[in-house]
Amino acid sequence: MAALKGVKTLDMVGGEITKVSYEGAEYERVVGDAKIGDIIRLTEEARHDVTPGGFYTVRGVRGARVQITDDVNEPHHWDEDYYDLFRKKHRRLKVGDYAKVVEGSDLDEADAGDIVKIIHDDYDRVPFKCDVIKGRRDADYIWAEESDLVLATEAEVAEAKAPKFSVGDYAKVVGDTYHSDIVEGAIVKITDLADGEGDLRFELVGDDDYDYAKPSSLEKVSAEEAKWAKIGRKVDEYKVGDIVAYDDPQWFENKGIGEVTEATDEDNYAGVVATDNGGRRVKYYLLPEKLTLITPVEVRFDRS
């Protein structure tokens, strides 16, 4: 894991950083042995696969020696001469907070890493009633002590609230992708479930291009949206020259085939010329539910 991004300096004394914020939590500079979950700021003298002056999460501790994951995703150990130590400032969790079940919790109803939302606090020995957002008891609730939980990060909450996908589902890209080849707004099809990094593999609808992304970067869409996306359109977006089947007994008094002569307007109507039951060529403005796209104008053989 590379140096942490988004760490903001909140306070300095004598040119030394004493307080920072990261993912919504405040961290204060402390003296003493590190703990797993603390963050360190490496000195400018730190080298070899790290960012001098960068912040890193403590992954392991042996006395004053800490382990981090460096910029090439390898474990790296540092003595206290090469870092300043910062620890998350404690605050009591409150109703509305999202929290994570900690390692070593005595909860029978939840596992370490489960994400919950605190919905009630009665200030008793087991004060927090929590909705389970992601975990063994999804959509259920549990009661937890303060020592069972820590404040969840924004990334953890986003991942927990991300939609659950299956192979064959369609989605819209709404965030970052691994290769950045497929842009936001594109419609894709899920082709493989989460890998070791938690990324889904997907292909661009109507193309062979593929990429990977976290579920939080995708938004489920319907098969209907995907079908229209294959021709580069929104659902029920008709263009001049499209051939459509119409079903409007109120006006045409029959079913048949017509041609769009005015594209879908801001009121969601399309102008269609078709033959009524008397053989007359008539133009009417119809809502999309009266139409079925037969041939998009882009692929009509009678058009150059």
DSSP states along 18-33: EEEEETTEEEEEE-S-
> DSSP class of residue 264?
-
Query: Which parts of the chain sit beneath pLDDT 50?
Result: none
Instruction: Please state, as a whole number, how many other Cβ atoms lie within 10 Å of the Cβ of residue 265.
Output: 11
Residue-level pLDDT at 249: 63
How far apart CA 269 and CA 263 sit, in angstroms, is 8
Residue-level pLDDT at 25: 81
8 Å CB contact between 216 and 194 = no
Q: Taking Cα atoms as reference points, which of 169, 84, 153 lies closest to residue 113? A: 153
Q: Name, in order, each residue with C-beta under 8 angstroms of 151's C-beta and a sequence gap of 6 or more.
A: 24, 25, 91, 93, 97, 98, 99, 100
48-55 long-range contacts (CB < 8 A, ≥24 apart) are 48/76, 49/74, 49/76, 50/3, 50/76, 51/2, 51/3, 54/2, 54/3, 54/4, 55/3, 55/4, 55/7, 55/20, 55/22, 55/86
Q: What is the pLDDT of residues 237-256, one digit of tens each?
A: 888 988 888 876 666 666 77
How far apart CA 170 and CA 191 sit, in angstroms, is 10
> DSSP class of residue 102?
P
SS3 category, 228: helix
Residue-level pLDDT at 17: 95
Residue-level pLDDT at 185: 86
Q: Taking Cα atoms as reference points, which of 84, 141, 95 lies closest to residue 118? A: 95
The whole model's pTM is what? 0.46
How far apart CA 116 and CA 144 sit, in angstroms, is 10
Residue-level pLDDT at 277: 67
Decide if domain 162-229 falls under CATH 2.30.30.
yes
Q: Name, in order, each residue with C-beta under 8 angstroms of 36's C-beta and a sequence gap of 6 or more.
A: 58, 59, 60, 61
Structure tokens at 56: 């890193």
Q: What CATH fold (topology level) applies to the domain 8-88?
A: SH3 type barrels. (2.30.30)
